[in-house]
Each structure stands twice: as structure tokens, then as C-alpha cells.
Amino acid sequence: MIGKVVVSGISILLVVGIAIGVIAAVHNKGGKEENLTAQAKAVRAICEPTTYKDVCTNSLQNATSTEPKELIKTIAMVTKQALIQAHKFTEDELVKNHAEDVKKKELEYCKKMLNFSLEDIQEFVDEFDSSDFKNLSDKFDDIWQLMTNVWVYQESCLEEIMEEDLKKSIEDGTSDAKKMTSNTLDIVADLNKILSSFGLNFNLTTNLSDHPPSRRLLDVGEPNEFPRWVSAGDRRLLAGRGGIRPDAVVAQDGSGQFRTIKAALAAYNPPKNVKTRKRYIVYIKAGVYRESVTIEKNQYNVFFYGDGAGKTIVTNNKHVFGTNLRTSETGTVTVYGRGFLAKHMSFENTAGPSGHQAVALLIQADLAVVYDCRIDGYQDTLYYNSGRQFFRNCIISGTVDFIFGMGAAVIQNSLIIVRRGNDGQKNTVTADGNSKGKNAHIGLIIQNCKIVPELRLARDAKMKSYLGRPWKQYATTIVRETELGGFIDPEGWMPWQGSSYENTCFYAEYNNRGPAARTNLRVRWKGFKVITNPVEARLYSVGPWIQGYRWLRGTRVPFNL
């Protein structure tokens, strides 16, 4: 039944062997490159880097252009159509399972994630279509991130489905959208080589391991080392220079416009044109706000600032264990809107170690900055689930996988506190969820931080703690120039139970310090590396990782530029 639904919806993806049949025919006649038609050569060049080549060629079966831009646009449009059909399939499953509360919630979340995918693939098409390759360089990081987001949203959908039969059904019913998304992402990531095969040579930054940083990240003279995508005005807000005029004031004592953060957000109705949206500044006065807050995807450029971490506190205790909640539903603060900023406040989840997954801050949005904040919890405290995210001068605490996600995140100059969990637990600071590999913009960098135990853990020599474990097949985490407390197990990293990701992950350490910084007893995984070359290490910093730019000379971060 599932197969019939998908075939009828997007047969364009499944007519194997029809598209570009001339390629096979020509190869049967001798296979000489010069005998290929211009059309066949163009399609082969576009599809060469893709994971699902037959799906790629089939998606171009009706294309007549030999121009790379038109062919790539066609691929993207077919991807969009596949996502529309995946969304319809999920809706149909929702109708069938509407009486079952747990399945209904899971499918509603899937539907939401597929909506996000559709929004981002359309934005990708619009951005790609409005540029020629000569000026695409300035937009390249953004379109690569958009396609990564489309991938992550689909992964997030599947991650929240617990019932095996339903999960298998959704996997099957949305598999063509997943394959097309994978192919489009492969094409974007390898765009330099593709264009070169067409005789077009542009210096687009596509693969961080192949292309050194080529553009600036920072403006001259900025002392706070924010990424360039943080505007000058936002840097002033975050650095505290100049008067901040809030659009909304939240105060429990009634001295503001609103008594709850939810009410302040409900009053924010941004215009539809994304490019004209201004920042929405919410000043949250000192107090303990027992709320579960969501910044929706259409609520761009929200800025929360408080009276100080530990003074302005947003708190909740939602958790997975013993409830019908999924991890994505437990966030004290959940951010879907692009351009989120936060300063001088605390986000916490007080469910405790017995609550299992219990998120304090979930950011599923691009271009987010969290500065001078506390993020406290136990398991799954900080969920960096998509987009480019930058955390600086923060305190982050937890037990199991407490910094985890599928975004591209950098945590810099921060204090990471490992807490004592329940007896028998093992602590893991990180759990990255890169399921796609180097072509996706996913991974975590911890730079110039301190990783220390809380006092209760420091007194318990039996409880083991590790830097992380690979949540997904291509988990990517780099810990560099960071002080590692002696409580970290000498092996450093531990495997994900029941997996064999040790050979495919990318875990690296560079120039760390402290009692646990010695790497001679680290795990002997194919996927683990000790970086010794500062030129290589430079690739794993704020510059190339979350924007593709360089650091400015004079940064306070101690690494060799």
C-alpha cells in the first residue's frame, strides 16, 4: 500500500532506466566520451557526486537544457515535489492514526518538520534562481545551510517516532524525498567540481577539508569575536554598548507590558517579507519564569535579554521518562525562528537525572547567538538541532549527551559542568547527530572552554565521564584548546550502544590542556584523530565552521591563525 501511494505521487523519481537512456546506449556502442550528447554529458556531470545516481538522472529525464544552473534548479524542484508528496503521505498516515494519541503527536511533529523542509527548499530555489554563479559566492554558505536544514528536518521527523511499524511506514513513504534531498545536498557541496567540469571556475567554499577559509568573519576592531553574520547593530546589543530599547518588557511584578514571555511573543506579528523584518527585542526582568516558550519559525530575529544569568531564569521540568512526551517537546525554550539572540539569562530544565531526555534550550534555527547565559539540566540539556549556532561566555551543565544535535555549532570561552547523575549512569558531554557526512553542514566545536565536574561528581571516582559518543553514523565533534578536568576517562570517548559508528565518525582533539588532555590512552578508533597541525586546526574554528570565513588577527581565542 505504501509503495503504491509513493509511486503514484512521484513516479518521476522511480522510472529507472528511462532518463538519459542515451548514456547507456552510447556506452554500449563503445563508451567513448566524445560520443555522448551534450545533454548526456551535462546530466552525468551534475549527477556524478550524488549518492543516488539513478534517482538523479531520472529526475532530469524531461530536462532539455545543458546549462548547469537550469539542471540544478530542476533537481531542486523535483526535490520539492517529492517533499510535497512526503507531506501528503504523512497527512494520510495521520488520518489513519488520529485516534491514537502518541502516534498522532509524532505524525503532527513529522508534518511540521516537512513543512519546514518545504519552506527551506523553496527559499533555496529562490536564492539559487536569483543569482548567477559569479555572485553566488556571497550566498553560498546560506544555500548550503538551507539544504542541510531540509535534510535535518526529515531526520528530526523520524527521530521522534518510537513505534517501529509506524517508523518503518514513514521511512518508506518519505524515502524518495530523502533520496532527492541527499542528492541535492551532494550537488551543492560539490558545486566547485561540477562547475569546473562545465569549464566554469569559481571559488565557492564547498568542502571545509579541501578549501581553506577565503573571507573574513569579523570586522576590524570588534572585541567580542562574534561571527560576521551577527550585524554591527546586534553586536552592540550583545556587547552592551549603547541603549537598548525593547519592544516588549516582561516582568512578573506587573512593571512591564507583559507578565509572561509567552504573552510577549504572542504580540509579535512579523511582516511576511523576511528581508524587511527588524529585530524584536524582549527585555525579561529578573525573576523565575515557569514557562515553556516557543519561538515559531515565522518569528525571525527575536532577541531575549535579562538582568543576568541566575537572575532572569526561564525554567520547566518537562521530560520524556514516564510521559507521552518526545524529546522535541521537552524544551523549556524552543527556537524555530532564524536569527535568535539571547543575553544575560538562564534556561533550565529541572526534571533531574531520572527524567531522562529533558531539554533546557532547543534551537532549530539558523544564525543563533547565545551570549553570557546559563543553560542547565541533566540529560539532553542543550539541543543544537539545525543551523549555525554560536555560544560564547556561557555555563552549560548536564549528565548524559547534554550537548547534542544536528546543527553546526561552536561553543567558545564557556564553562561546561558535568553533573552527577543516577547510580550506574555514565556521563557523556556531547552526542552529535550528523547522519549525512561531510556534505552536510553538521557538527560541534568546543573551543577554549573548561570542562569540569560539579563537586558531587568530583567526589565519586566510580562514575565515568567521557567527552562524547557518536549518536549518528558521521558524528562530528572537535574539542580544541580546552581545559579537561581529570575526571574525564583516559579513553576520552565511548561508543554508542549497539552501533558501529567508531569508524565513520569524526572525533578530534587539538592542543587541549589539563589533567585529562593527554591522548596516549585515547580510543583507537578509525574515526578519532589527534590534530597536531595548526593549519588543519584552523578549519575547525568559528570562521570556516559556521560561516566559511577567517578569524581576524588579534582574537583572544588562543590558536595559531
User: How is residue 326 written as a grid cell?
Assistant: 518526545
The DSSP letter of residue 37 is -
In this prediction, residue 451 carries a pLDDT of 98
Q: Give 34's pLDDT tier (boundaries 50, 70, 90).
A: low
Which tens digits make up the pLDDT trace of 453-495? Answer: 999 999 998 999 999 999 999 999 999 999 999 999 999 999 9
What is the mean pLDDT of the segment spanning 438-448? 95
Amino acid at 434: N
What is the mean pLDDT of the segment spanning 272-282? 77
**How many angstroms separate the CA atoms of 37 and 436, rounded?**
33
Three-state SS letters, 147-199? HHHHHHHHHHHHHCCCCHHHHHHHHHHCHHHHHHHHHHHHHHHCHHHHHHHCC
> Please, what is the Cα angle at 429 between 424 and 435, to 5 degrees?
110
Q: SS3 of 36, please? A: coil
Q: Is the dihedral of CA 137, 138, 140, 143 positive or negative?
A: negative
First to last CA, the chain: 57
User: Of the residues 380, 423, 460, 489, which is catalytic?
Assistant: 380
Which tens digits make up the pLDDT trace of 403-437? Answer: 999 999 999 999 999 999 999 999 999 999 999 99
User: Which letter, b or e, does each residue of 323-332 get, where b requires 16 or more Cβ atoms within 10 Å of its Cβ?
Assistant: eebbbbbbbb
What is the mean pLDDT of the segment spanning 334-354? 96
Q: Report how far apart, in Å, the C-alpha atoms of 189 and of each of 145, 153, 205 are.
A: 10, 18, 9
**How many angstroms separate the CA atoms of 488 and 486, rounded?**
5
Specify the residue for cell string 577565503. Answer: 214
In this prediction, residue 244 carries a pLDDT of 80
Mean per-residue pLDDT of the chain: 87
Which tens digits make up the pLDDT trace of 531-548? Answer: 999 999 988 988 788 863
User: How is residue 450 written as a grid cell?
Assistant: 573548561
Q: Do 505 and 526 form a contact (C-beta atoms < 8 A)?
A: no
The DSSP letter of residue 427 is E
What is the mean pLDDT of the segment spanning 137-154? 92
What is the mean pLDDT of the segment spanning 300-322? 96
Q: Can 380 be counted among the known catalytic residues?
A: yes
In this prediction, residue 415 carries a pLDDT of 98
**How many angstroms separate the CA atoms of 119 and 113, rounded?**
10
DSSP for 326-395?
A: -GGG--SEEE-STT-EEES-EEEE---GGG-S--SEEEESSSEEEES-EEE-STT-EEEEESEEEEES-E
Q: Do 385 and 407 form a contact (C-beta atoms < 8 A)?
A: yes
124: pLDDT strictly greater than 70: yes
> Please, what is the Cα angle at 411 between 319 and 499, to 5 degrees?
60
Domains of the chain: 2-197 (1.20.140.40), 291-548 (2.160.20.10)
Strand 427-432 and strand 465-468: pairing? parallel
Specify the residue for cell string 536564492. Answer: 127
Q: Which of 231, 238, 151, 180 is nearest to 439 (CA)?
A: 151
User: Of the residues 186, 234, 401, 432, which is catalytic?
Assistant: 401
Q: Give 200's pLDDT tier (boundaries 50, 70, 90).
A: confident
21: pLDDT strictly greater than 50: no
Q: Report how far apart, in Å, the C-alpha atoms of 393 and of each of 9, 285, 413 are.
A: 49, 20, 5
Q: Report how far apart, in Å, the C-alpha atoms of 433 and of each of 53, 335, 452, 453, 458 are.
A: 25, 18, 24, 24, 29
Q: Can 401 be counted among the known catalytic residues?
A: yes
The contacts found for 235-239 with CB under 8 angstroms, 24 or more apart, are: 237/279, 237/281, 237/303, 237/305, 237/341, 237/343, 238/341, 238/343, 238/369, 238/371
User: Which letter, b or e, does each residue of 17-42 get, where b requires 16 or more Cβ atoms within 10 Å of its Cβ?
Assistant: eebbeebeebeeeeeeeeebeebbbb
Q: How far is it between the farthest Cα atoms of the chain?
A: 83
Q: Do 285 and 246 form a contact (C-beta atoms < 8 A)?
A: no
Which tens digits make up the pLDDT trace of 64-101? Answer: 899 999 999 999 999 999 999 999 999 999 999 888 89
Specify the residue for cell string 537550469. Answer: 70
pTM score: 0.89
Strand 408-412 and strand 280-284: pairing? unpaired
What is the mean pLDDT of the segment spanning 276-291? 91
